[in-house]
Chain A
Amino acid sequence: MPDESSNLTERQIVPIAATEGLMPDRQLSELPRDELGHLAEDLGLDPTRFKTAPLLVAAIHQRRQLIADLDRDAMLDVVRWGRRPVPIDSSKERIAVEIARIKSMKFSGLSQRGLMALARLRDIGVTETEPAPVPVLIRKLRKQEGIFQRFNRRRRSFLGSIVAGIVGENDSTADYKFLPPSPTDGERPVATGSATIKEEIEQSGLIGGISNRIKRTADQYLNQKLDEIEARIDRKLDEIDRRLAEWRDREIANRIRILKITLWASVIVAIVSLIYSYVTTYLTK
């Protein structure tokens, strides 16, 4: 019989997916430094800014409180603007993780409340109680980026436009599916369209953007093939079931026909026998 206490210890050190926001606070401080770093990165924090684990834990706590304070609709505005495929019933923390992955600096199309949410998640000095106008928020967000980062982004954007020109990719607005419903049990999540290759390269760099695009295309291809295989298997199973039902009905009908023939033979023999008995009993004596 396994030892209960050792099992408990093993269970405690297994990290739960941070993106779902299921990790109790009690366990957060018990996580190793690298796990804390990943969690902080997922939530949009820079783990290198925090020298010790307790500081990082405190920052994560603070970030979670901030996320809990944010308006869900404003967060969804950001997700829509950033073209991230998030299930519509996702938790706030899950949405915040997706927002943290958005690196775009083109704020056109983003609502004021969305800008506020984005600014708060990017640690710009704004508060919910003092909503700033859109131009001010955009200026603050751009100022936070820094000269070198802006230069690198422009360089990546230039590279992206060259690659997009080589590949011949048009704007992929049409195939973007915003906020798909949550996948049910046994259903694979639907790969959704996202930014253009130019935007991807601008956000993730040349190699990162291209590899992301290849990965997503491969995912879509695989999902499509899996769907086709599943449909083919379903068709085959239906065919087998139909044939089995036909065979069952035919077999039962044959058995009953054999029984009927046997009964006919028995009845005929019984009639002959009765006539014979009658003749031998009453007519021949």
Chain B
Amino acid sequence: MPHIDFFIFFRLVLEIVVGIYATAVTLQSVYGWYVYLQGGDRYLSMIRRYLLVHGLRVRFKTFWGDVVVSILLSVALVILWHAHTVLAEGVVLQNAGRIIQPH
């Protein structure tokens, strides 16, 4: 019977479920907006321009702190990911050493 690590299993399932869910919801929303704003109606043209104007008028001062924290957290996440990779490589090397030099 294969040995199952429940923590690794939970992590893998969470990654798959949340990843698929987030991707599906994001793509669905983006496609909906794309189809809506593609319309040739006179009013939709006005809405497109209005959205563009609002995009340019966004005041970053109101949320720039959160943006900086999010960027730093993203960097930390990448570093942790790299640490996982290094650890996994260490495990592989350790196993290889055991195979080459048995007791």
> Number of B residues contacting the other chain (C-beta, 8 Å)?
27
Whole-angstrom distance from the CB of B67 to the nearest CB of chain A? 6
For the complex, what is the distance from the CA of A267 to the CA of B72, rounded to whole Å? 11
B103 at the interface (CB under 8 A from A): no
In contact, B63 and A256 (Cβ under 8 angstroms):
yes
Q: Which of A245, A249, A271 has the most CB of B within 10 A?
A: A249
Partner of A249, one of B5, B58, B70, B88: B58
In contact, A260 and B90 (Cβ under 8 angstroms):
no
The residues in B between 63 and 79 inclusive whose CB is less than 8 angstroms from any CB of A are 63, 66-67, 69-70, 73-74, 76-77
A257 at the interface (CB under 8 A from B): yes
For the complex, what is the distance from the CA of A273 to the CA of B67, rounded to whole Å? 26
In contact, B73 and A260 (Cβ under 8 angstroms):
yes
A29 at the interface (CB under 8 A from B): no
B-side interface mostly: helix
Q: How large is the interface on A (under 10, 10 to 19, 20 to 34, 35 or more residues)?
A: 20 to 34
The residues in A between 243 and 285 inclusive whose CB is less than 8 angstroms from any CB of B are 244-245, 248-249, 252-253, 256-257, 259-260, 263-264, 266-267, 269-271, 273-274, 276-278, 280-281
Nearest opposing residue in chain B for A281, CB measure:
B91
B11 at the interface (CB under 8 A from A): yes
Nearest opposing residue in chain A for B74, CB measure:
A263
If the complex has contacts A260-B73, A271-B80, are A278 and B66 also in contact, measured as CB distance less than 8 A? no
B59 at the interface (CB under 8 A from A): yes
If the complex has contacts A273-B11, A277-B84, are A252 and B63 also in contact, measured as CB distance less than 8 A? yes
The residues in A between 141 and 191 inclusive whose CB is less than 8 angstroms from any CB of B are none
In contact, A270 and B90 (Cβ under 8 angstroms):
no
The residues in B between 26 and 66 inclusive whose CB is less than 8 angstroms from any CB of A are 54, 57-59, 62-63, 66
Whole-angstrom distance from the CB of B40 to the nearest CB of chain A? 24
Nearest opposing residue in chain B for A277, CB measure:
B87
Partner of A259, one of B5, B7, B14, B70: B70
For the complex, what is the distance from the CA of A51 to the CA of B16, rounded to whole Å? 99
Rank and list the top 3 A-B pairs by shortest CB-CB distance, nearest first.
A263-B73, A270-B80, A253-B63
Chain A contact residues, CB within 8 Å of chain B: 244-245, 248-249, 252-253, 256-257, 259-260, 263-264, 266-267, 269-271, 273-274, 276-278, 280-281
Question: Can you list 19 A-B pairs, Cβ within 8 angstroms, ordered by A?
Answer: A253-B62, A253-B63, A253-B66, A259-B70, A263-B73, A264-B73, A266-B77, A267-B76, A269-B11, A269-B14, A270-B80, A270-B81, A273-B11, A274-B84, A276-B7, A277-B84, A278-B87, A281-B90, A281-B94
